[in-house]
Structure 1
Amino acid sequence: MKRRVVVTGVGLISPVGNDAATSWEALCAGKSGVAPITRYDASTQGVRIAAEVKGYEPDDYFETKEARHLELFVQYALVAAREALGDSGFEITPENAGRVGSIVGCGMGGLPTIEKYIQILHERGERRITPFFIPMVIPNMGAGQISIFYGTRGPNLSVTTACAAGTHAVGEAFRSISYGDCDLALTGGSESVICPMGFGGFHAMKALSTRNDDPAVASRPFDRDRDGFVIGEGGGILLLEELEHAKRRGAKIYAEMAGYGLSGDAHHIAAPPEDGAGAIRCMQAALADAGMQPADIDYVNAHGTSTPLNDVVETRALKAVFGEHAARLAISSTKSMTGHLLGGAGGVEAVITALSVKYQFAPPTANLENPDPECDLDYLPGKGRAMAIRAAMSNSFGFGGTNAVIIMKRYEE
């Protein structure tokens, strides 16, 4: 029999706040984190806007020498994990460390550092490459450094499934605890690819919004005038815990993990099939795993990237899965405010989903002013909603046709 798993701690560092409480308040208010790029001079780029983490100083969290050897996506994972641990009240000790896992998603790893050292290699030669280069850039270092910094000795796993990575990580952590591989896990996702190479690559695919003159409204999922997604950065980490373990220590519980689904499109490297078949199978798998019917879901945190094709396909998939109940769902894309954190998106959105269940509030879809006629569900345009949320679903779909869905529900004895 599978063990029950609950969320007992959350941590966020995002484009709208450097902790969970600040981020949640901003999201509920519909505040955008998109602005002109400040990380470097982007004046010659076709896309000059991003959802950057703001006011972040590595020296507030790490020793100066230490920070130099930690890529930003790793720093964000560590900062969010520290908050999640502190929030949970759980202390990792040598006695329990073997039962605590670190399972974190990342899409692209240390792309800014790769870009930097390619230039150094060509201009100054191989001898100028730092010995820390490889450990800085490999995508598993979010999970690895969480284990090293905080002493987790259970499953140490990184998931790299493009924009579904954070949700896959949370789902795999849920399964690891359910099946007894560990009792707790720090899990989620992180990403930071705000660099010329990252923007150049996505812009070449015509995937990004070019609304450079009005960045706050550039990310507009399900809106008729959307023109692409906005790259974001940050990290979202949850502490998942086996229910009886959490009860024994009197832990507060945000939500209960209920279901996890995953599927493949077998269709295209970057585009979903127009009928949404892979997303449909994935949502259905998560419902089956949760033992739920479509009518049991009240809120969906949509993948909702603000690209012309994705939003229409996700709408079709939601209608196929939920039938008549689709019209009664509250659905929102918080990427309208955070931008798209790529491999980190699912981690951030898992935290948002847990908070939605805990506080019985669905955040809005910002900038949804002129709904696309093909996106005709209740996407909470501009304003969030206090409502009864018995169960909530979070969707993530990635390049390569990889799909992940998790379901959380209100905790009941």
Structure 2
Amino acid sequence: MKLVGQLNRVVITGLGALTPLGNNLNDFWNALVNGVSGAGAITKFDTTNFKTKFACEIKGFNPQDFFDRNEARKYDPFTQYALVSVAEAVKNAGIDFDKLNKNRVGVIWGSGNGGIYSFQEAVSEYATGNGIPRFNPYFYPKMIVDIASGVISIKYGLRGVNFTSVSACASANTAIIEAFNFIQWGKADMIITGGSEAPIYEISVGGFNATKALSTNNSNAETACKPFDPARDGFVMGEGAGAIILESYEHAVQRGANIIAEIVGGGMTADAYHLTSTHPEGEGTALAMQLALQEAGISASEIDYLNVHGTASPVGDISELYSIERIFGRNPDLSISATKSMTGHLLGAAGAIEAIACIKAITDDIVPPTINTTQIEPDFEGKFDMTLGTAKKRPVNYAMNNTLGFGGHIASSIFKKCQ
């Protein structure tokens, strides 16, 4: 029996991934460690009139491999991606839901945009249809951001806590921290968490081009994303999903689960500064990392690996480096990598696949690299181990995951090798 006020330990027992680097966990991780770029020419639409003509798309994904025709037409791609990654995580965790109390198993998912393709498709059809409102009856449930968490619960019959966190590019990390909280507090035994995004369509690419956030280095797509490099010119859009099974330590032990790692801290803050830009000195990011460390009960020096937000934004990268310096000081022993240099930026799903990168770094004692970057901003040269070019074998006991989103939303989570 838990004492009043005593928090549950929370562990990770399953992982699933559908990414531009691979359509399952192992392919994703192997490509990440080997420094593979997921960038290439956009195939989803005609980019002739667009400033950016490349992105990190999922390769070889066929919905009919996972859904029958009638089922597939009910789901926007972001929901399809969610279901596929969750199915892998559930299998990976060895879960038989019929043997669990489904009233205490929940879903907390993350997405920044939801069914943006379904929204674009419906509006385009209306605009070209002489104003006749022939909307698909599935339009609204395909579009709404919270539908993925609902569909996951329906598939597995899960009646516990269920919602979607929307905090722009921090969405999935926010979802993971919220799932961690609910299990800590004893309000759930197990939660499926993570995030999904399917944004590589005209309105997303055009919209981000309008904000001048996307790289336009069309002639060098595979090497365009250069986090922290003075030559960087913006982020590369990605798509996909990552799923993580969290459960209380006691629940995992009772069902004989294989415990992969542990989540021990989370910090969620706001920059309270600007609509789209981060605070110049990284105020909110530093606070999020500080709060995560406090909850984990560890010092900054105990973090072995930091998966940074690192989008290759001219302003955002500098801001994050300032925040890291404030928390970690000059620490060449801290291994940092910006895996968006390979995956692209999965927006609301970024925190999920980057959390998986942190967890795999812990289990395999290897830090994935930052590719494409050949030099670091001069003021930060030599202050940290930026893991440029190739992965690094080293002990990883604690890993931190940072995510930052438009509106000033920030989330930082900490994972630990489970004893």
Q: TM-score, normalised by structure 1?
A: 0.98
Contact 1:312–1:375 (CA<8 Å) still a contact in 2? no
Distance 1:42 1:290, change over 3 A: same
How much is the aligned-residue C-alpha RMSD, in angstroms? Answer: 1.0
Give the Cα separation in 2 of the matches to 1:375 and 1:64: 52
Aligned match of 1:336:
341
Letter in 1 for 2:418: Y
In structure 1, the partner of 2:315 is 309
In structure 2, the residue matched to 1:85 is 90
The CA distance in 2 between the partners of 1:101 and 1:206, in whole Å, is 38
Q: 1:390 maps to what in 2?
A: 397
1:117 paired with 2:117, answer no
* Partner amino acid, structure 2, of 1:109: G
Equivalent position of 2:168 in the other structure: 162
The residue type equivalent to 1:156 in the other structure is N
**Residues 8-31 of structure 1, C-alpha deviations (whole Å, 9 max, x = no match):** 000000000000000000000000
CA distance in 1, matches of 2:11, 2:328: 25
| Letter aligned with residue 238 of structure 1 | I
1:17 to 1, 22, 40: 22
SS at match of 1:328: strand
Counterparts of 1:354 and 1:142, CA distance in 2: 23
Structure 2 partner of 1:262: 268
* SS of corresponding position for 1:392: strand
The C-alpha deviation readout for 1:368-394, integer Å capped at 9, x for no partner, is 112221343321001111110110000
Residue 322 (structure 1) aligns with: 328
* Equivalent residue for 1:369, pick from 374, 396, 414: 374
Q: CA offset at residue 91 of structure 1? A: 1.3
- Give distance in 1, aligned partners of 2:398 and 2:304: 6
Contact persistence 1:270–1:399 (CA under 8 A) = yes
Which of 167, 191, 194 in structure 2 is aligned with 1:188?
Answer: 194
Distance 1:249 1:43, change over 3 A: same
State the identity %.
41
What residue is the counterpart of 1:145 in the other structure? 151
1:176 and 2:166 correspond:
no
SS at match of 2:83: helix
> Which residue of the partner structure matches residue 234 of structure 2?
228
Tell me the distance in 1 between the aligned counterparts of 2:355 and 2:157: 23
Residue number among 103, 106, 110 corresponding to 2:108 in the alignment: 103
- Runs of 4+ in structure 1 deviating by more than 2 angstroms, as ranges, are 374-377
1:121 & 1:94 partners in 2: Cα distance? 47
SS of equivalent residue, structure 2 residue 327: helix
Q: Does the 8 A contact of 1:261 with 1:283 survive in 2?
A: yes
Kindly provide the CA deviation profile for residues 82-110 of structure 1, in whole angstroms up to 9, marking residues without a partner as x. Answer: 00000000111275211111000000111
Taking the aligned partners of 2:16 and 2:7, their CA distance within structure 1 comes to 26
Amino acid across the alignment from 1:359: D
Alignment of 1:394-413 (within 5 A): 394-412=401-419
Question: d(CA) in 2 for partners of 1:12 and 1:240?
Answer: 15
Which amino acid counterpart does residue 233 of structure 1 have in structure 2?
Answer: E
Cα distance in 2 for residues equivalent to 1:323 and 1:13: 35
Q: Give a deviation string over 1:139-197, Cα, whole Å, max 9, x none.
A: 11121111111222111010000000000000000001110111111101110111111
Paired AA for residue 388 in structure 1? P
Structure 1 portions without partners, runs of 5+: none
Tell me which moved more, 65-74 or 13-22. Answer: 65-74
Name the SS of the counterpart of 1:374 in structure 2.
helix
2:174 partner amino acid: H
Does structure 2 retain, via aligned residues, the 8 Å contact 1:222–1:375? no
Deviation at 1:126, TM superposition (A): 4.1
- Deviation of the 1:355 alpha carbon: 0.9
SS class of match (1:42) = coil
The separation in 2 between residues aligned to 1:117 and 1:255, in whole angstroms, is 43
Structure 1 partner of 2:278 = 272
Q: Please state if 1:56 is matched with 2:34.
A: no
- SS of equivalent to 1:396: strand
**How many residues in Structure 1 have an aligned counterpart in Structure 2?**
411
SS of residue in 2 equivalent to 1:263: strand
TM-score by length of 2: 0.96
Equivalent residue for 1:381?
388
SS at match of 2:385: coil
Corresponding residue to 2:357 among 352, 361, 366: 352
Structure 2 residues not aligned, in runs of 5+: 1-5
Counterpart CA distance in 1 for 2:77 and 2:256 is 34
**Bigger mean CA offset, 390-399 vs 215-224:** 215-224
| 1:103–1:169 CA contact under 8 A, matched in 2 | yes
Q: Which residue of 1 aligns with 2:305?
A: 299
Q: Give the match for residue 45 of structure 2.
A: 40
2:248 to 239, 242, 248: 242
Q: Which amino acid aligns with 2:282?
A: G
Tell me the residue number matched to 1:7.
Answer: 12
- What is the CA–CA distance in structure 2 between the aligned matches of 1:2 and 1:86, rounded to whole Å? 28
User: Does the C-alpha gap of structure 1 residues 67 and 374 become closer, same or farther in structure 2, counting only changes over 3 Å?
Assistant: farther
Question: CA shift at 1:219, angstroms?
Answer: 1.0
Q: Distance in 2 between matches of 1:31 and 1:296?
A: 29
